[in-house]
Structure 1
């Protein structure tokens, strides 16, 4: 048995086997409707609570802190992203009975819409948390994660409406992830966080200088801006001491080729311009200071700057 007839029969058999393997993973339409209905009901409860306590500005329940509320939202967001992605990638295969069912498509779109609302609520939680405490590199990463999830949910909707394959969805999300990672490789998140904290500090007592010091050279320019800002003399002295310490470290690393960098050279040049003619920091030398710039003898143990405990 050979020739074109045998080749055609082989192709048809391979196609039937491929379709049968795909059908084996198809979820029954009734089960899909029930599952999506339950998920929509559960997430409706979650979103209703967010609308009551978060978007309306109402006080949180007793015993729930802003930090707990923000962290719980992040954990829920991870779960919902996995659920939505799993449903679209495996349960709604293009050409399957469930994907062609209007009720399933409507429930899935409602589920994705609720997920998008959940992402928005999680971002609002985090924004409130940042406003209450401060901005950190990890919180910037959390915002980037939430934005990536929102884009992924939009891609799920597009995949469903346009009949794209699961491979297309995976590749599209991989491109989004690569774009986010590339952005973090280009932008100095530490410098952005330090500048935001200095610019948005409500008063000197809410600014965590220990965290700024931990950012190293990324916080050099914001610290110099702080020492030149109209703040109290204590904060100005501490910012001056920390900036001098970081400048000394940066100048030392820039003095040899192993530690030299374009970013470091630009920061050092800009700091020299900003401090041209500025008086030196009074009081103890910068090497006799704690992480918040306070003299070591008067530094408060176990607390951040000016005695404000970290969340």
Structure 2
């Protein structure tokens, strides 16, 4: 495979080039064959690059884009205006095949709207879905949708399940178990969309549909692919991240509460740090937009350097697995 090129929206997220440039340099050091194109206001990007020594400019280039999409801008406004926005220019590099993927920490709605407009969806797919692995007792499961589609029909949930199963398979899961997130495991539970989606999935050829799953079952690892609408998925994801921070923070505080606790903490702290590292959102940062004719990875808007570097890893892995083409090859067989 030729050297992969990833287009980076350097102006996206809460921290922009201040965080994204160091993350990109760390990714270049981690992957010697990787090439990056940083898209954004060149003066700000070059200012950050100047703070680092030994930058390999043979594998990194800067492409100027004069406009920035704010985190609160409406997708419709973005589509009509800002043709020189960093996010749009980065996505256009993918459309023109000058980059194999795009990574952005910017406005999720704008990224979804521009991705659909510029890259188009794969045949048979109405809407792309955001998917990301989340840690479970058995390793990880793939959860989608994570917030790109708040209102979903049964057909949309069906398409998400198919895409999630194919993606999980491509990323190494053998015959992935697919489940619909629901308020109970009984067939009578759930709203009409979920029940209709379950009916469609039971008829899908070659799909290992295991039925409904509840929230606690997700973390027990009862499924490899968990499907829901973006409203539910985003709340589940953000609640999980907050819970991890609260639990690890309280444990650290307890181990510092008095001499005896500190003594116990001295022994337990290495294990706690290991657990914290395993569950840290930064390790799992990077949600893929499945269903597009190109690779787009959304980083958390508040991502720091390590987290954004994780999103670049996610994009690189999808390039190596040729994920859009693999999806396209399987979707025709699986979609009704």
Is the TM-score greater than 0.5?
no
The structure that has the greater radius of gyration is 1
TM-score, normalised to structure 2's length? 0.21
Name which structure has the greater RCO, CA cutoff 8 Å, separation 6+: 2
TM-score, normalised to structure 1's length? 0.23
Question: Which has the larger share of strand?
Answer: 2
